[in-house]
């Protein structure tokens, strides 16, 4: 695993985790920037670095997961970055905002059903 932080004005404002444990593949396990940097081009810069780092290794596949808790523009962003949807599936899980695992104000675009 390789982990990187995007530092802006002395603060960690982005996260990138590359997982090379599967031979010949790289999974982007974590990727994102804080709300402060959404729309500034920082996400594009970070994704470009992620792809450079991933493809610099002996891999034939770079992949990632996204879900409805990601930013609403995430899927389009990933497709614009060269990724193709491989599979869609429905997974039913408890909402992490209800048990305190995640703050209640994250993923505001997904309604909380109590």
Instruction: Tell me the CATH number at 35.
Output: 3.40.630.30
Number of independent structural domains in the chain: 1
The parent domain of residue 22 ranges over 1-114
DSSP 101: S
Residue 108 has pLDDT above 90, yes or no: no
Strand order in the sheet with 11-19: 2-8, 11-19, 25-33, 61-64
Q: Name the phi and psi angles at 68, rounded to 5.
A: -65, -15
Count CB atoms within 10 A of the CB of residue 43: 21
59 vs 1: CA distance, rounded Å = 14
Take residue 69 and report the two structure tokens written for it.
């808790």
Q: What is the pLDDT of residues 2-50, one digit of tens each?
A: 999 999 999 999 999 999 999 999 999 999 999 899 999 999 999 999 9
pTM for this prediction: 0.81
The CA-to-CA distance between both ends of the chain, in Å, stands at: 37
């Amino acid at each position: 695993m390789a982990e990187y932080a995007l530092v802006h004005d002395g603060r960690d404002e982005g996260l990138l985790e590359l997982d090379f444990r599967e031979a010949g593949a790289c999974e982007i396990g974590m990727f994102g920037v804080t709300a402060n940097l959404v729309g500034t081009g920082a996400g594009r810069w970070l994704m470009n670095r992620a792809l450079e780092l991933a493809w610099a290794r002996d891999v034939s596949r770079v992949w990632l997961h996204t879900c409805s808790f990601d930013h609403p523009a995430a899927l389009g962003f990933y497709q614009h970055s060269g990724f193709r949807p491989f599979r869609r599936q429905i997974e039913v899980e408890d909402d992490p905002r209800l048990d305190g695992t995640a703050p209640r104000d994250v993923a505001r675009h997904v309604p909380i059903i109590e």
